[in-house]
Amino acid sequence: MGHKPPGRSSTVQLATSDIAETNLEISYITVGALNSTSQLSSHPAWQILNSLECGENAADRIIGGTRAALGQFPWIARLGYVLPDDPDIDWMCGGALITDRIVITAAHCIPSEEEEYALKYVRLGEHDIRTDPDCELSICAPAVQDRGIINATIHPSFNIPPFHNDLAILRLDIPVDLNDYVAPICLPQNGEQLAGVKIGEIAQAAGWGKINMTTEERAKILQVVALPIVKPEMCDMFGREFKMQDSEVCAGAQLNKDACGGDSGGPLMKVYDTPDGPKTFLVGVVSFGPTVCGIRKPGVYTSVAYFLQWILDHIK
């Protein structure tokens, strides 16, 4: 595994006890050539994607600060890891739901066979990790949904060269029940979206990562941060051997406003206008950034538009 998942979070017991025990199958599938916009727009996978409402949320307000509102990001997933003979689950990476049983995350969030811990579960519908169900004022969301994973498909060029092509697709054992608090995010489909994010535009990242630069304290409630898209060369600072590629997005570089540890694999999001109104689209996947969170350095995100053909080819 090229990068380690973020440091271990506090452990919790699995919310549901009836998840079937599954053996995770890891695949490395050959990537096809990038196709034209018209070919991407006519890909048969859109029949599945367009059958689901995407990119909409149940939140009509922002709480303030960096906390997300209940139901603001219903596609946010948490990835749960286990150690042998340990009943507790560590939720160490994030992801984004794109159908009722497919989650996109970072390849470095998939442990290799040599590593002691194993990726076993995906949780959706989380907001406050201390409560289930989650409530705000008089509104309560349904209980979280935990699912097993039957397949993890890692991009075949992950870590070739090192730290690049950091993308993976998880297939859940059972589809999630879609509702106002568990729903897919949209994938880029038309010209403006497929062109990718531009320097100066504002995107969002969300997760339960570190909220204190001097401790290992992690957020109890889902956090959100607005991040500007910056010049790629600003991300060429992570070592002499790393150089940004077209397959990546550089975002951040605001003091105390980066996506910190615990958010690996989570979504970089942007709202686009559509004929059905504004919707949220997945534009990137959190890959890596500075080891000290909150400093004025940007982070690297895997570009979803760049890898859209590969993603669509693995939607069934």
Instruction: Based on the residue annotation, tell me whether 146 is a catalytic residue of this protein.
Output: no
108 has catalytic annotation: yes
203 strand-pairing partners? 227
Q: Which of 90, 100, 108, 146 is catalytic?
A: 108
What's at 133, amino acid-wise?
A: P
Per the annotation, the verdict on 155 as an active-site residue is: no
Name the catalytic one among 166, 258, 263, 303. Answer: 166
Residues 6 or more apart whose Cβ sits within 8 Å of residue 257? 225, 226, 227, 294
The span from the CA of 170 to the CA of 12, in Å, is 22
Distance CA 301, CA 228 (A): 12
Separation between Cα atoms, residue 188 and residue 196, nearest integer Å: 8
Q: Is residue 314 packed enough to be buried (19+ CB in 10 Å), middle (13-18) or exposed (0-12)?
A: middle
Q: Which of 9, 264, 287, 303 is catalytic?
A: 264
Max CA separation in the chain (angstroms) = 53
Q: Is-contact 188 269, C-beta < 8 A?
A: no
Strands 202-207 and 76-82, how do they pair? unpaired
**Residues labelled catalytic:** 108, 166, 264
